């Protein structure tokens, strides 16, 4: 029998610890496996505990103080070892602060050896109820809070926290959260996932079941996601779903990135450029920080542009107009030779390939 694993993710160490302890007492026969990266020492600390107390604790040096090394070298091996012991019925895996659950989910979905013993039953995003807006829309870096996972970790708190909510099967706040904060979480979360204000309202009896469906999660979190979005009905939250079948003009987009990517909101999606027609390009922004990247070939997908922006309060004026100004007009597409060797996006997307 495979042991269900509940994955806890978050950007706040105290909130994560409180959620973990609560679940230990709410889930009969549960064991908690907590990992923490000490960046300065290059050490990964592991503590395994249940309701009787600490079962084991250890430290190990990491070749590189980073999340990938921690998952590969200790998190997954420990989860397998604990499951094979047969001592506990459920594993609560407290991932390192700032670590996404997607790597663990992917490994357990593909590695047949590990999958004989483990299955992800639920992914939980834990958010400090009093800091929801700052964590999901603010400008702080993980490093500024001492929550970075490596010396060169320059990720923003909002970038990481938003992605965690979007990936989660359950999002729960630790402590009270106001209505706007809860509404923002609902607007970012995958349709059908659960948002709970306060760990005391979390139905822990469902967590060891079948809440997590890896394929559905991948579809939702893919940059070229195609799902229709439910209408935003909560006051204080707004969403723009910007779409076009056409590519974006490289020069106009480069000049106006700040118009869509800057500001206190979350934006994500995919786009394409006439200079790189076969490449699916990623748009990933939060809290005024924007990342664009090259994901893959479009493959069987029809190239298109879709950027979804979510925020609170009143939307900044001119967002839709700015987007529409970036879209390539039909006469521009037919009248301009786009087979060029440079388009200005080389620092983010790499060199243009396939130019004669």
Tell me: the pLDDT tens digits for 273-329?
Answer: 999 999 999 999 999 999 999 999 999 999 999 999 999 999 999 999 999 999 998
CB of 115 closer than 8 Å to CB of 108: yes
Which pLDDT value is given to residue 43?
Answer: 87
- pLDDT tens digits along 19-50: 999 999 999 999 999 999 888 888 889 999 99
Q: Which has the closest alpha carbon to 207: 136, 123, 333, 324?
A: 123
Which pLDDT value is given to residue 356?
Answer: 45
CB of 65 closer than 8 Å to CB of 150: yes
CB of 244 closer than 8 Å to CB of 327: yes
Q: Which has the closest alpha carbon to 124: 192, 219, 195, 69?
A: 195
Which pLDDT value is given to residue 67?
Answer: 74
CA 109/CA 295 separation, integer angstroms: 21
Question: What's the predicted TM-score (pTM) here?
Answer: 0.94
Q: Where in the chain is the domain with CATH 3.30.1220.10?
A: 237-349
DSSP-based three-state secondary structure for 66: coil
**How far is Cα of residue 336 from the mean position of the Cα atoms in its chain?**
38
Q: Which fold has domain 3-221?
A: Rossmann fold (3.40.50)
Which pLDDT value is given to residue 65?
Answer: 58
CA 119/CA 109 separation, integer angstroms: 8
Q: Where in the chain is the domain with CATH 3.40.50.300?
A: 3-221
Q: What is the pLDDT along the chain (356 residues), one digit of tens a residue?
A: 899 999 999 999 999 999 999 999 999 999 999 999 888 888 889 999 999 999 999 998 877 656 777 788 889 999 999 999 999 999 999 999 999 999 999 999 999 999 899 999 999 999 999 999 999 999 999 999 999 888 888 999 999 999 999 999 999 999 999 999 999 999 999 999 999 999 999 999 999 999 999 999 999 999 999 998 988 888 899 999 999 999 999 999 999 999 899 899 999 999 999 999 999 999 999 999 999 999 999 999 999 999 999 999 999 999 999 999 999 988 887 767 888 889 999 999 999 986 54
Longest dimension (CA), the chain: 73
Which pLDDT value is given to residue 62?
Answer: 76
Residues for the chain: how many in total? 356
Which pLDDT value is given to residue 104?
Answer: 94
- 237-349 CATH, one of 3.90.1640.10, 3.20.20.450, 3.40.50.300, 3.30.1220.10: 3.30.1220.10
């Amino acid at each position: 029998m495979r042991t269900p694993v509940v994955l806890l993710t978050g950007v706040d160490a105290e909130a994560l610890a409180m959620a973990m302890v609560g679940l230990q007492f709410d889930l009969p026969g549960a064991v908690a496996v907590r990992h923490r990266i000490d960046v300065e020492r290059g050490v990964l600390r592991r503590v395994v505990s249940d309701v009787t107390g600490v079962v084991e604790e250890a430290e190990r040096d990491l070749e590189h103080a980073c999340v990938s090394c921690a998952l590969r070298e200790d998190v997954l091996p420990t989860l397998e070892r604990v499951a094979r012991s047969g001592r506990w019925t459920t594993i609560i895996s407290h991932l390192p602060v700032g670590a996404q659950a997607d790597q663990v989910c992917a490994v357990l979905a593909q590695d047949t050896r590990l999958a004989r013993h483990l299955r992800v039953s639920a992914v939980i995003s834990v958010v400090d109820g009093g800091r929801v807006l700052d964590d999901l829309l603010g400008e702080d870096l993980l490093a500024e809070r001492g929550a970075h996972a490596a010396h060169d970790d320059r990720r923003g708190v909002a970038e990481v926290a938003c992605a965690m909510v979007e990936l989660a099967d359950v999002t729960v706040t630790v402590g009270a959260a106001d209505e706007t904060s809860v509404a923002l979480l609902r607007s970012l979360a995958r349709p059908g996932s659960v948002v709970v204000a306060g760990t005391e309202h979390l139905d822990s009896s469902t967590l060891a079941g079948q809440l997590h469906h890896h394929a559905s999660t991948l579809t939702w979190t893919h940059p070229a996601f195609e799902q229709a979005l439910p209408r935003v009905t909560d006051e204080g939250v707004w969403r723009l779903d910007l779409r076009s079948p056409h590519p974006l003009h490289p020069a106009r987009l480069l000049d106006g990135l700040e118009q869509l990517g800057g500001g206190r909101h979350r934006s994500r999606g995919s786009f394409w450029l006439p200079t790189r027609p076969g490449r699916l390009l990623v748009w990933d922004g939060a809290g005024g920080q924007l990342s664009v990247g090259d994901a893959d070939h479009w493959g069987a997908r029809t190239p298109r542009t879709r950027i979804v922006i979510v925020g609170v309060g009143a939307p900044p004026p001119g967002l839709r107009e700015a987007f529409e100004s970036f879209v390539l007009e039909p006469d521009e597409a037919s009248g301009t030779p786009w087979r060029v060797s440079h388009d200005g996006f080389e620092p983010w997307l790499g060199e243009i390939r396939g130019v004669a």
